[in-house]
Chains A and B, each alone.
Chain A
């Protein structure tokens, strides 16, 4: 069973700062997801990646398969980025289930 660890658990930063959230896992995977959950509970998929790097607006996700590690970066952070960010991995093939990290609670102060 894959073990997924996220760090930090909690992060408070000032508006405009560059944010990095880390995710590591114990067993090789077929894909890694980054999810965002705002207060109120809704979950949105930000990225799915199996190699390299993806960028969407101010968000960048990278993965290093050899190191079993992924990072989510937020550039020019804004209070609306305040949310819980969750890493999830699929261990093998499209049919396998997801294993989740416990999430990183991010607060961006104006």
Chain B
């Protein structure tokens, strides 16, 4: 089944404790992206990647890192999480210029 998977789906952590949210797709898509969704602000793009070893900042990249060492994986790294990074995070993938497939979301709470 074609899908985008994210792990974990739910995470509660404390300020400053490094964490990684994984994203994987099995559709051989070149394009992958991370978004955060917050009440009143909607979806905002954090980082995206056009292909292996190619990443670009979105609208809200501060406090996040990404890597694209393999085509199927695009992990989101929070080196030192802060409470303002409490959010619902979505990973998505697509062929370049085509409709995006979204993962199920990761609900992160930083205390």
Contacts and interface: CB of A to CB of B under 8 A. Distances in A.
Interface of A: 1, 30-31, 33, 35, 41-45, 47-48, 86, 88, 93-95, 97-103
The 7 closest A-B pairs by CB, nearest first: A94-B97, A94-B96, A43-B102, A102-B42, A45-B99, A100-B43, A97-B45
A48 B96 CA distance: 12
22 contacts: A31-B97, A35-B102, A41-B104, A42-B105, A43-B90, A43-B105, A44-B102, A45-B99, A86-B43, A95-B50, A97-B33, A97-B45, A97-B48, A97-B56, A97-B59, A98-B35, A99-B45, A99-B59, A100-B44, A102-B40, A102-B41, A102-B42
Interface in B39-57: 40-45, 48, 50, 56
Looking at chain A's contact residues, the main secondary structure is: strand
A2 B21 CA distance: 28
A93 B97 CA distance: 7
B88 interface: yes
Given A43-B90, A95-B50, A97-B56, 15 more contacts: A1-B59, A33-B100, A43-B105, A45-B99, A45-B101, A48-B99, A88-B43, A93-B97, A95-B56, A97-B48, A98-B100, A99-B45, A102-B41, A102-B42, A103-B42
Contacts of B58: 97
A42 to B, nearest CB: 6
B102 A45 contact: yes
Contacts of A98: 33, 35, 43, 45, 100
B100 to A, nearest CB: 6
B31 interface: yes
Nearest to B100: A45
A101 B99 contact: no
